[in-house]
A and B are shown apart, each in its own frame.
Chain A
């Protein structure tokens, strides 16, 4: 089983302040607000950099004054001068700076909430995975997927967010800000990704036992590639070809997997768990924590609740390794 994320290296514990620079390592990569991949994240990044720069200037100025008045120029000030400094630097300056930042921040909000260019993606947060539906302009029925959100680069996509039971929050740091997902109401987040690539999203609101294991892949594609991909997602599932795959499908049927999972083009029409029609085309399994490959599939099916506490899917630990392998072979063929 492979998990996304960095493994801590073993060794004697260094003093804490020496570890701090290592944490900067988290600032690069596919889940970082400091590596913006779209308009929204770029705006947030700019705010962050301006504030960081401003903070450095203020810090230097404050400590400079402190040094100046305690070490360099220690003569007694007239009350008038002292008051000027306190009122100027302690009242007027913060008011102007914070006021300006507020005005700037508020002026950015409308563009963060701009209407989408047409494509709507509905995401419903479940325990602990993401139900995803693509609604291209004019669509009457959605194209269902799960645990992966794909965007066409260069246009603004509207995400309509809901949740089943608990409050969650959707956050793709490289693409924009986070937005809460609240049972019983819909929130909207629009994102304008520009840079093609694979990013990682994560639930950003503590939501229960498996909150830390509720991630997903965000993929930004060239618009034409996205259209091709979406068209292929709308097609029914591939029929099993090999002996293994056919046996896997019959185990899928025999164990009643279709009670919860839909595989379009078959009699499996359950709506409890993720749609598996094109499972093998997705970059992750079990909401961003495993890969769609033989060993991970087998491990997941037989040990769901050990891997992901309190997940709805029961562990099918009575299946033999051969049966699990056949089942995995069938699922791997669902491209």
Chain B
């Protein structure tokens, strides 16, 4: 009995001493946080091995990888976002990061080396979640994993051997400004064209992105580089920015037109708001919009993951009953008709 007591007292004393040492390290500044030397090799090994295993354990199943990961427009969107948000640390293919970045601990790996060991679903998890204690941030919005696939598409292109010339072509500066990189004539169909939207609606969208009502990692990053005071002027300018040209689409199935025009007893008629007779400037025109963008937005509406303005509640109700094939058909319908000049079929 007395022996057990000795053991307990000894453990308690050791614990108390460890606590005092710990407090001293924190409050007396005993631990040297200097990054000049970096971690001990054993620390690096522990951290990196933990990271690798965490990714393997938590990455989504391969079945969640979209089938269109090699789509050029998706790669372009990812590349543009990468260029603006990630390149400073991971550099571009064939490029070396700045000396400042090279002095980071741990040092961010150059993009080609960084992506080499990972499968697409693992890349998705890393880009979406970030890496604690490494300087790698999580995706700015926790609910937009769908956007992350664009960056994964780009990173997969890097794995397949994207050259520095290829990278420069994907991310070339636009004469009409930063936004035009995705939304302009040389942009990507994964971003909406803006010339069919009025300045009122664009201003509403900008405000919704800023407030988080309309969650988006890509757009919140892009807008964090714009002075909010210039949003109104920006909206005016963007409303005239021509979108990327594209080959004419085949006519959509007649059922899609009937659905858009008349709805069903469960689905409101799209054209009542988005048709030529409605001139409400706070309702977006859809005719001529990119089909990929329309499809993605309808999926977000249906999931209740999109907001934007008071009337968002209308789309939450409207999209609730849509099936996947209906979403695809409606996107094809609105995309297939040319927006100008009359919006009419």
Contact = CB atoms under 8 A, between A and B. Distances in A.
A318 B278 contact: no
Contact of B273 (A259, A267, A312): A259
A259 B314 CA distance: 10
B269 interface: yes
B310 A318 contact: yes
A314 B277 contact: no
Contacts of B97: none
A256 B263 contact: no
B264 interface: yes
Given A259-B318, A314-B317, A272 B277 contact: no
A268 interface: yes
27 contacts: A254-B278, A254-B279, A256-B272, A256-B273, A256-B278, A256-B280, A257-B272, A258-B272, A259-B263, A259-B268, A259-B270, A259-B272, A259-B273, A260-B263, A260-B268, A267-B277, A269-B262, A269-B269, A270-B268, A270-B269, A271-B264, A271-B269, A272-B263, A314-B314, A314-B316, A317-B310, A318-B310
Given A256-B272, A256-B273, A272 B266 contact: yes
Contacts of A317: 310
A44 to B, nearest CB: 33
Nearest to A124: B265
A3 interface: no
Q: Is the interface of B mostly helix, strand, loop or mixed?
A: loop
**Residue from A254, A312, A318 having most chain B Cβ neighbours under 10 A:** A254
Contacts of B261: 269
A267 B269 CA distance: 11
A255 interface: yes
Nearest to B275: A267
A259 B265 contact: no
B96 interface: no
A253 interface: yes
Given A271-B262, A314-B317, A258 B269 contact: yes
**Interface range on chain A (Cβ under 8 Å from partner):** 20 to 34
The secondary structure that dominates the A interface is loop
Contacts of A131: 265
Contacts of B268: 256, 259-260, 270, 272
Interface string A229-265: 0000000000000000000000001111111100000
A164 interface: yes
Interface in B250-266: 261-266
Interface string B282-319: 01000000000000000000000000001101101110
A271 B273 CA distance: 15
A271 B267 CA distance: 8
B269 A259 contact: yes
Nearest to B281: A254
Contacts of A164: 265
A37 B267 CA distance: 39
A262 to B, nearest CB: 10
A259 B268 CA distance: 5
A312 B317 contact: yes
A253 B279 CA distance: 9
Closest 5 CB pairs of A and B: A259-B272, A256-B273, A259-B268, A318-B310, A258-B272
A272 B262 CA distance: 10
Nearest to A251: B280
Contacts of A256: 268, 272-273, 278, 280, 283, 314
Contact of A314 (B272, B273, B313): B313
B229 to A, nearest CB: 25
A270 B283 contact: no
Nearest to A131: B265
